[in-house]
Amino acid sequence: MSQATQPKIYVAVVGVGLVGSELISQLLSIPSSPFHLVSLSSSKRTIFQDKAPIGADWKSLLDSSSEKPDFEKLTQNLAKLNQRVAVVDNTSSEEIATLYPKWLQAGFNVITPNKKAYSGDDGLYEAIITTSKASGAKFLNEATVGAGLPVISTLKELVATGDKIDKIEGVFSGTMSYIFNEFSTGKADGPKFSEVVKVAREKGYTEPHPADDLNGFDVARKLTILSRTISSGSATSTSLPNLKSFAAVKTASLIPSALEGIPTGDEFIARLPEFDDEFAKLRTEASAEGKVLRFVGVVDVSGGQVRAGLEKYPTSHPFATSLGGSDNIIMFHTERYSPRPLIVQGAGAGAAVTAMGVLGDLLKLI
């Protein structure tokens, strides 16, 4: 069936910030689009327009709306369309993530870069899996790991085609990638750790409070998503632990214990120099071994372990030679891809590539 004769897919977008706005722009630029944009919701306003699709004037339409977001009402309105529907959640809201089973039960496809539903409480994740199977509606979450990089889809295909996953390891955080690409190059000396973190914050690579990156939770969430993807897609059981949430991942935080609980990012940055010598020692030790420091995440299927933390790699390793800026790099060690792993690398953060990952999932519905 040609794209022109295909029935439209009615799209409701929740979250119109950096990623959401970029997604709408990319969505509206598709020639002979199969998508009919019917609803937009910000944190304060919402619009629903089922007759004529929402177009390039969406910002002014949303700004002029007096209607507040009401997801119960949105669900009812979408159900009344009696059409193929996709709900795109561009937020990082746990509250909205809890609505996924309800939307899937209603037959709506759910697409999101929001990691909360897929890395949080395992009860919610199981409800998503079960409801999707029962209704036939799809949940697609490519952009939850690696933004626009084909990480989730690659893993799903490997598992679905019967390949045996031995281990996945990678630099999953753009923030951590930048910090250690700058800090540890294989030489014994270099910039101070606190200075690198400070510059990363000024460039917008870190959260306003850098501790939210240095605690490793973002990586732990992504590892949980990968681990669950393997477990739910495998025909046989694996030795991977049943992660109740991302908090069960063995995560080695880089926050010095004395700085735990520092309330503001400014105060954290001001005090981080107190620990420069400790980080410099780690770099010197790595250099003496001909290695670099990288904050990596590992899903070790054979070893039955999921962990995140600082590890050392030879200066000839792709984690040392192939990374630049805030790139991500992920290695899939499998039965088929052995001894040379399948490698996916590239920009792992940013509105444009994240929106591309979301739009790519939408296109899978056609």
Q: Tens of pLDDT along 268-296?
A: 999 999 999 999 999 999 999 999 999 99
CA 170/CA 227 separation, integer angstroms: 13
CA 312/CA 246 separation, integer angstroms: 23
pLDDT reading at 6 higher than 70: no
* Matching fold, domains 9-147+354-364 and 151-347: no
Q: For residue 20, give every residue at least 6 positions away whose Cβ sits within 8 Å of its Cβ, in sequence order, or none.
A: 13, 14, 90, 355
pLDDT reading at 67 higher than 80: yes
Q: In this prediction, what percent of the chain has a pLDDT beyond 90?
A: 92
Q: What's the mean pLDDT in 154-168?
A: 96
**Residue 2: band (very low, low, confident or very high) from pLDDT cuts 50, 70, 90:** very low
What pLDDT sits at residue 236?
A: 67
Pairing of strands 109-111, 84-89: parallel
What pLDDT sits at residue 267?
A: 97
- Which residues define the annotated binding site for L-homoserine? 207
Write down the catalytic residue from 222, 250, 281, 312: 222
What pLDDT sits at residue 235?
A: 67
The terminus-to-terminus CA distance of the chain in angstroms comes to 10
| CATH topology (fold) of 151-347 | Dihydrodipicolinate Reductase; domain 2 (3.30.360)
pLDDT reading at 54 higher than 50: yes
Which neighbouring-strand residues pair with 366?
none
What pLDDT sits at residue 5?
A: 58
CA 364/CA 366 separation, integer angstroms: 6
Predicted TM-score (pTM) of this structure = 0.94
Dihedral angle of Cα 89, 92, 96, 98, to the nearest 10 degrees = 110
8 A C-beta contact, residue 231 and residue 223: no
Helices of type H across 106-264: 116-119, 122-135, 152-160, 174-183, 193-202, 211-214, 217-233
Q: Which of the 8 DSSP states describes residue 8?
A: P
Helix axes 18-28, 351-363, angle to 10 degrees: 50
pLDDT tens for each residue of 189-220: 999 999 999 999 999 899 999 999 999 999 99
For residue 73, CA distances in Å to 11, 67, 76, 190, 195 come to: 15, 11, 5, 56, 49
**Residue 1: band (very low, low, confident or very high) from pLDDT cuts 50, 70, 90:** very low
**Residue 238: band (very low, low, confident or very high) from pLDDT cuts 50, 70, 90:** confident
**Residue 234: band (very low, low, confident or very high) from pLDDT cuts 50, 70, 90:** confident
Identify the H or E element spanning 334: strand 327-334
What pLDDT sits at residue 3?
A: 46
Query: Considering only CA atoms, which of 211, 307, 306, 167 is closest in space to residue 251?
Result: 307
The full set of domain ranges for the chain reads 9-147+354-364, 151-347
Query: Considering only CA atoms, which of 263, 319, 268, 270 is closest in space to residue 292?
Result: 319
| CATH topology (fold) of 9-147+354-364 | Rossmann fold (3.40.50)
- Which residues define the annotated binding site for NADP(+)? 15-20
- Which residues define the annotated binding site? 15-20, 91, 115, 207
pLDDT reading at 51 higher than 90: no
Helices of type H across the chain: 18-28, 58-63, 71-81, 94-97, 100-105, 116-119, 122-135, 152-160, 174-183, 193-202, 211-214, 217-233, 265-271, 276-288, 318-321, 351-363
| Helices and strands counted in the chain (H then E) | 16, 12
What pLDDT sits at residue 233?
A: 78
Q: In this prediction, what percent of the chain has a pLDDT beyond 70?
A: 98
pLDDT tens for each residue of 72-110: 999 999 999 999 999 999 999 999 999 999 999 999 999
Burial string for 51-81 (b: 16+ CB within 10 Å, else e) reads eebbeeebeeebeebeeebebeebbeebeee
Tell me whether residue 222 is one of the annotated catalytic residues.
Answer: yes
pLDDT tens for each residue of 299-353: 999 999 999 999 999 999 999 999 988 899 999 999 999 999 999 999 988 899 9
What pLDDT sits at residue 349?
A: 87
Other CB atoms within 10 A of residue 366 CB: 11
- Which residues define the annotated binding site for NADPH? 91, 115
